[in-house]
Chains A and B, each alone.
Chain A
Amino acid sequence: MTQVRVLAGTHKGGFVLTSDASREKWEISEPHFAGWDVYHMKGSPADPNRLYASQNTGWFGQIIQRSDDGGATWQAVGNDFTYATEPGTHLWYDGTPRPWEFKRIWHLEPSATDPDVVYAGAEDAALFRSADGGATWTELTGLRTHTTAASWQPGAGGMCLHTIILQEPRIYVAISAAGTFRSDDEGQTWQPVNHGLVSEGIPDTDAEVGHCVHHVEAHPSKPDTLFMQKHWDVMRSDDGGLSWTEVSGNLPTDFGFPIAVHPHEAETIYVVPITSDSLHYPPDGRLSVYRSRSGGNEWERLTRGLPQQDCYVNVYRDAMAVDTLDDAGIYFGTTGGQVYASADSGDTWAPIARDLPAVLSVEVQVID
Chain B
Amino acid sequence: MSDVRVVLPAHLKNLARVHGEVVVAVPAGDGMPLTQRAVLDAVEERFPMLRGTIRDRATGKRRAFIRFYACERDLSNDAPEAPLPGDVAELIASGREPFMVVGAMAGG
Does A102 sit at the interface, judged by CB under 8 A?
yes
Q: Is the CB of B52 within 8 A of A61?
A: yes
Does B51 sit at the interface, judged by CB under 8 A?
yes
Docked pose: A76 CA to B64 CA in angstroms = 22
How far is the CB of A10 from the nearest CB of chain B, in Å? 13
Q: Is the CB of B58 within 8 A of A60?
A: no
Does A235 sit at the interface, judged by CB under 8 A?
no
Residues in B neighbouring A82, C-beta threshold 8 A: 57-58
Residues in B neighbouring A58, C-beta threshold 8 A: 64-65
Tally of contact residues, A, Cβ under 8 A? 17
Contact mask for chain A residues 123-163; partner B; CB cutoff 8 A; 1 contact, 0 none: 00000000000000000000000000000000000000000
Interfacial residues of chain A within 38-84, with CB under 8 A of chain B in the complex: 57-63, 76, 79-83
Q: Is the CB of B65 within 8 A of A63?
A: no
Residues in B neighbouring A60, C-beta threshold 8 A: 9, 11-12, 15, 53-54, 63, 66, 103
Docked pose: A36 CA to B11 CA in angstroms = 8
Residues in B neighbouring A62, C-beta threshold 8 A: 52
Does A35 sit at the interface, judged by CB under 8 A?
yes
Contact mask for chain B residues 30-60; partner A; CB cutoff 8 A; 1 contact, 0 none: 0000000000000000000101111011100
Contact mask for chain B residues 65-87; partner A; CB cutoff 8 A; 1 contact, 0 none: 11000000000000000000000
| Number of A-B residue pairs at CB separation under 8 A | 47
Q: Is the CB of A63 within 8 A of B49?
A: yes
Q: Is the CB of B56 within 8 A of A61?
A: yes
Residues in A neighbouring B12, C-beta threshold 8 A: 60
Docked pose: A81 CA to B65 CA in angstroms = 20
Chain B residue, CB-CB nearest to A77:
B49
Among A35, A60, A62, A80, which residue has the most Cβ atoms of chain B within 10 A? A60
A-B contact pairs, 21 of them (CB 8 A): A35-B11, A59-B63, A59-B66, A59-B106, A60-B9, A60-B12, A60-B15, A60-B63, A60-B103, A61-B63, A62-B52, A63-B49, A63-B52, A63-B53, A76-B15, A79-B51, A79-B57, A80-B52, A82-B58, A83-B58, A102-B57
Q: Which 6 A-B pairs have the closest CB atoms?
A: A76-B49, A60-B53, A59-B65, A59-B103, A82-B58, A79-B52
Binding site for A on B (CB under 8 A): 9, 11-12, 14-15, 49, 51-54, 56-58, 63-66, 103-104, 106
